[in-house]
Amino acid sequence: MSAPRKPETVSFTIKTKYIWLIIGVLLCLLALAPVIASYLPSTSSSSSSGSSAPPSSSVAPNCANPCTIVIQNSLFGTVQPIIVKAGTTVTWANKDDLDHTTTSNSGIWNSGILDPGQSFTETFSTPGTYPYHCLIHPMTGTIEVVS
């Protein structure tokens, strides 16, 4: 009669360099999350494709004509969304120490790079919701045009 067999054990070894590689990839993905999120459509009821259904005209504008949005501290103004009447000219003024852009999510406008002290102007004639972002930084904003 043969001796009873011992159960086999299986061992799994991960090299330390692979653990550091996985941690590095996860940290890179975590660092890019705000940039990726700024390009995703908003979860609000408004469309991010440009001129959507007009917001209710009972909404009072919070920026007169002409409207100036000051880019400072890596923010598009201090209030979001910016609500203007149809026909309003909006100017983005870069008062920050960094370069920025104002770029429509649907390609309606693109300021190009605005150095500190530069500005860009766009006139909004059609009621709707116009989301935009900075191509350089994870900054977003929305212009709502009411009739």
Residue type, 147: S
* Residues 114, 102 contacting (CB under 8 angstroms): yes
Mean pLDDT per 10-residue segment, the chain (147 residues): 72 75 82 66 44 58 91 89 94 94 94 94 94 92 93
CATH fold for domain 67-146: Immunoglobulin-like (2.60.40)
Task: With CA atoms as reference, report the closest residue to 105 among 42, 13, 11.
Answer: 42
Instruction: Say what the pLDDT of residue 78 is.
Output: 82
DSSP labels, 40-109: SPPSSSS-SSSS-SPPPTTSPPSS-SSEEEEEETTEE-SSSSEEEETTEEEEEEE-SSS-B--EETTSS-
Sequence spans of domains, the chain = 67-146
Instruction: Say what the pLDDT of residue 12 is.
Output: 63
